[in-house]
Amino acid sequence: MITSIKKITLLGVVATTLFSCGNGNDNADGYGNFEAIEITISAENNGKLEVFDITEGQELKKDAFVGYIDTIPLSLKREQLMVSKDVTISKSKGVLSQISVLNAQLSTAKINQNRIENLIRDNAATQKQLDDVNGEINVIKQQIISIETQNAPVVNELKNIDVQIKQIEDQIKKSRIINPINGTVLVKYAEPNEITSFGKPLYKIADLNTMQLRVYISETQLESVKIGQEVTVKIDANDTLKDYKGIITWIASEAEFTPKIIQTKDERVALVYAVKIDVENDGGLKIGMPAEMWLNN
């Protein structure tokens, strides 16, 4: 009877040992989930979404044109500003022509001034003649300053119109929806013919070619990992584990409490450090997928 009990106990120990050896999780150095850098693209203008040609799961190239917001109101406003600019310029033409005449007179007076100075050196002219020319030059300069002062409001108005035109052109440019990065469309938030507004999300995109695995390790494992280190990443694949090569790109500088969904190597450790690992995606890695990190040494 005792012998039978010993046999049963021995079989139980062997079975438990085999099960533990078959569970790869007991040997992994870190546990976590895959994530990607997600970017939400939002509208930069108000209006009707005339064209928005994307679908969820679609691969988009950087700088690809994906749609545009109605620009007719902006174009009409720009035309109105151009007309106002032409009217303002026509108002200032008379003043500008007066300045041109005075500048011509000033040039002639300076020529006379130079000639009289040369004659004085040869004792062929008097100081009074030079004083008269200098007085004439000063009068012309004062007249130019006076006219320019009168024209200042017109000049400022033209500058203000130019600034408004540039603002409208910038809004028209931002009405075109240009994709900022290479990536895959994760979520589409809007449809053509909808009325959108500044800051309203249009779609979410992420580069899934390289995934980031965020794992958690204990303080005792810190000395075993460093940025740039190559590690092995494993995911569940049918009844086995599939291996990927990973590179550690970030290690947290501060500890945090162990996330509930993570089982660490030492379950008694209450504080862990987050580590990010870049993994090239062959199409089998998805956001949120659990994985393990194995140190190659």
Distance CA 82, CA 104 (A): 31
Cα separations in angstroms, 76 against 44, 73, 81, 96, 208: 19, 5, 9, 30, 42
* Per-residue confidence (pLDDT) for residue 296, from 0 to 100: 81
Distance CA 208, CA 287 (A): 9
Encoded amino acid at 170, one letter: D
Distance CA 286, CA 186 (A): 11
Task: Please write the tens of the pLDDT for every residue from 75-109.
Answer: 999 999 999 988 888 877 777 778 788 889 999 99
* Per-residue confidence (pLDDT) for residue 247, from 0 to 100: 96
Closest-CA residue to 78 (of 189, 159, 163, 14): 163
Question: DSSP letters along 19-70, please?
Answer: HHHH-GGGT-SEEEEEE--EEEEE-SS-EEEEEE---TT-EE-TT-EEEEE-
162: left (phi over 0), alpha (psi -120 to 50) or beta: alpha
* Per-residue confidence (pLDDT) for residue 88, from 0 to 100: 84
In the chain, which stretches have pLDDT less than 70? 1-26, 259-270, 297
- Our measurement of the distance from residue 121's CA atom to the centroid of its chain's CA atoms, rounded to an integer in Å, reads 69
Strands 47-52 and 65-69: antiparallel
* Per-residue confidence (pLDDT) for residue 26, from 0 to 100: 57
| Helix runs in the chain, H state only | 2-22, 72-121, 127-174
* Per-residue confidence (pLDDT) for residue 20, from 0 to 100: 34
Distance CA 207, CA 196 (A): 26
Kindly report the length of the chain. 297
Distance CA 144, CA 97 (A): 11
